[in-house]
Structure 1
Amino acid sequence: MSDAIDLADYLARWVDHSPDREAVAETVLGIARASIAIDALIRQGPLAGAVTASTGKQSGVDQQKKIDVLANNLILDALRDCPVSCFASEEMDNPLRIHAGGKLAVAVDPIDGSSNVEANITLGTIFSILPALASGADGSSFMQPGHNQLAAGFTVYGPYTSFVVSVGAGTQIFTLDPVEKRFIRSFYSVAIPAVTAEFAINSSNYRHWEDCVRIYVDDLLQGRDGPRGKDFNMRWTATPVSDIYRILNRGGIFLYPGDLRDGYTSGRLRLVYEANPIAFVIEQAGGGASTGRTRILDVQPQSLHQHTPIVAGSKAEVDYVVRLHHEPHGPGERSPLFGRRGLFRT
């Protein structure tokens, strides 16, 4: 429930006269200001012009859209007034130096789910804040494992706009007051429900998954008649932060595994500015986040735009998936359901 504390008040209490925390707080507030501007842009929809048009540039496996670039510029402009040394983004090939003496490195996905913009489906912004390294001019500040993050979070642009953030003291959720243009805390120190009956995965990729992922999903789909002994519902928005926001509130699990397709063997989400901040927020809310084999926050980045598989959500459910990945003899005795008799064929 809301306790009427806004984001600035919350961060001021957390700072408690610490210069290092002050730098983080200023930067979080800068990202929040940019999020309010991005929210205003999104809510104009087609009235804002051809924001859904492709720029002709490839951004990973997606076509970059004009809204991606506009949002990126809004965040970059906001961070110029913050103690940020370097900035990295999904929309930029290389990091950008902002202030030589800055204490922090910020990595973002300016518009998560931009492929959904024409369909008027929830979008997001994801951010990660790391300590800037002395040698960070070459981008090395972003080659730190996720457990080094000082703060992380995301904005969800849905029916209402939420700012989810952790500064390492639990996960807080703030809701945008559209009149006063400030974020008011609506959920204090979120705890992900331990028991879940929901999962999020793009099941159209079933034929490409590893057997351990297929077996997990098959067990869920069998519901009360299967080994899990209860019914599960599948949810999928194609905007990861939307699915993660639901998990923070209702429990559940999000999976974007690697698969057998070219370019997908390491998953699709980017480690530095998507998986790491999501994992940080999830763990701070009592959940778990893994590649399926390794804790996300312990993965050592090798490149700025590196991909990773991700399994995140209610900790017991994530641990269950990890165990399936680590079965010493593999899942040979439990063939995937669709390959055995199938839900779509007899």
Structure 2
Amino acid sequence: MAAARAGVQPVETLDVWYEANTPAGHGPELHSALRAVATAVKAIAARTARAGLEGLYGAAGTTGGGGDSQKKLDVVANDIMVAQLSACPAVGVAASEEEEAPLALGSGRYAVVFDPLDGSRNIDVAIPTGTIWGIYERPAGASPEAAVLQAGSKLVAAGYGLYSSATMLVLSTGSGVAGLTLDSLLGEWVVTHRSIKIPDRGQIYSLNDARRWEWPDGLRRYIDTIQRGEGEHPKQYSARYVCSLVADVHRTLLTGGWAGNPRPHLRLVYEGNPLAMLLEQAGGSGSDGKRRVLSIAPSALHQRLPLFLGSARDIAELESYGDVQQGAKTYEL
């Protein structure tokens, strides 16, 4: 093979990355499912970028599967994901945060769970949003619901799309975490972060400080301690909070620390499990404040939980305070 010319590097695309990261026992079928998700993320990115031009800001006037009010782009993003997955023979079941029940798509080997547009309340002010997804192998004879109500430890692949200054696809097939950036000139996903490793401790925490007065004592003591620089890490922590889970997790994955919500607000199936897989594959942790997220067997499609994702030592220190889970409550904003 001829040597690469000076200054010219080969482009590592999603297809090339998958060839080197194919999990044992899987192959072209999983590749096909991943490509369907990746194509959907491209399409959602395009519609998100044009939301103001296409009249896609604002409420849709409908509610999603979990009972939340939908934005127009929630509906659009969900339709895009369902359309792409329906066209993929490898996908037999699709389950969305925006749907009441899983969709039976055929006899395909895989079940895909997803939050089509996380952080959609931020769309109207052009703050980063994302798509969260996970892929399970469908057990033989399993109903569509049983296919997606599996513990996160059984995920075959997981990832998220990030819609920001760059469009990224961050994913894992069980052997580490990679980040790919959408090259608009090539129309291809290109590997830009070959092996993402979260620092074992950071200096940033991410949650809504405005709810401090309702936090449990353990969480309040923990935050007070790390803000003063009196925790296990001798430096003072700072808060960074976008209120878009994908954006907050992406920063955390690259710089360390943790992001989360102490209320039982985030969905185990559609958000908690896929993101916890990514954090663990990058060397971090995913916890509900007491338990490893990936060990929790879901009992309902829209089951919610407190969620803390981040550096392993930071999450362990947080858990050591014991009382860090806030009771359920819905806020106006």
TM-score, shorter chain, exceeding 0.5: yes
Partner of 1:220, secondary structure, is helix
Partner of 2:114, secondary structure, is strand
Where does residue 331 of structure 2 map in the other structure?
Answer: none
Where does residue 10 of structure 1 map in the other structure?
Answer: 17
Query: Are 1:256 and 2:270 matched, yes or no?
Result: no
Partner of 2:94, secondary structure, is strand
Match of 1:316 among 313, 316, 330: 313
Where does residue 269 of structure 1 map in the other structure?
Answer: 266
Match of 1:157 among 146, 153, 163: 163
The Cα of 1:59 is off from its aligned counterpart by 5.4
Cα gap change, 1:217 to 1:298, in 2 (>3 Å): same
Where does residue 289 of structure 1 map in the other structure?
Answer: 286
**Distance across 1 between alignment mates of 2:297 and 2:60:** 33
Where does residue 203 of structure 1 map in the other structure?
Answer: 209
Query: Are 1:220 and 2:226 matched, yes or no?
Result: yes
Query: Are 1:39 and 2:36 matched, yes or no?
Result: no
**Distance across 1 between alignment mates of 2:36 and 2:206:** 31
| Count of equivalent residues | 315
Letter aligned with residue 21 of structure 2: W
Query: Are 1:90 and 2:90 matched, yes or no?
Result: no
**Distance across 2 between alignment mates of 1:280 and 1:15:** 16
Letter aligned with residue 317 of structure 2: Y
Cα gap change, 1:326 to 1:221, in 2 (>3 Å): closer
The Cα of 1:58 is off from its aligned counterpart by 5.1
- The superposition leaves residues 60-81 of structure 1 with CA deviations (integer Å, 9 ceiling, x where unpaired) of 4642111111111111111123
**Distance across 2 between alignment mates of 1:68 and 1:50:** 10
Where does residue 329 of structure 2 map in the other structure?
Answer: none
Query: What RMSD in Å do the two structures reach over aligned CA positions?
Result: 1.9
The Cα of 1:3 is off from its aligned counterpart by 7.1
**Distance across 2 between alignment mates of 1:106 and 1:326:** 34
Identity %: 32
Confirm or deny: 8 A CA contact 1:3 1:186 kept in the other structure: no
The Cα of 1:246 is off from its aligned counterpart by 0.6
Find runs of 4+ consecutive structure 1 residues off by over 6 angstroms.
Answer: none
**Distance across 1 between alignment mates of 2:223 and 2:304:** 22
Q: How does 1:77-156 map to 2 (within 5 A)?
A: 77-82=83-88, 83-99=90-106, 101-156=107-162
Structure 2 gaps of 5+ residues are 1-8, 325-333
Letter aligned with residue 172 of structure 1: A
**Distance across 2 between alignment mates of 1:86 and 1:185:** 28
**Distance across 2 between alignment mates of 1:255 and 1:26:** 32
**Distance across 1 between alignment mates of 2:75 and 2:147:** 23
Which has the larger helix fraction?
1
TM-score by length of 2: 0.90
Confirm or deny: 8 A CA contact 2:152 2:295 kept in the other structure: yes
- The superposition leaves residues 76-119 of structure 1 with CA deviations (integer Å, 9 ceiling, x where unpaired) of 111123211111001100001001x2101001000000010111
**Distance across 1 between alignment mates of 2:135 and 2:242:** 26
Cα gap change, 1:210 to 1:326, in 2 (>3 Å): closer
Q: How does 1:240-251 map to 2 (within 5 A)?
A: 240-251=245-256
Structure 1 gaps of 5+ residues are 259-266, 328-346
Cα gap change, 1:188 to 1:3, in 2 (>3 Å): farther
Match of 1:179 among 182, 185, 188: 185
Letter aligned with residue 244 of structure 2: T
Where does residue 52 of structure 1 map in the other structure?
Answer: 58
Letter aligned with residue 255 of structure 1: G
Cα gap change, 1:60 to 1:138, in 2 (>3 Å): closer
Where does residue 239 of structure 1 map in the other structure?
Answer: 244
**Distance across 1 between alignment mates of 2:28 and 2:225:** 48
Partner of 1:223, secondary structure, is coil
Where does residue 336 of structure 1 map in the other structure?
Answer: none
**Distance across 2 between alignment mates of 1:198 and 1:138:** 39
**Distance across 2 between alignment mates of 1:93 and 1:313:** 30
Query: Are 1:278 and 2:275 matched, yes or no?
Result: yes
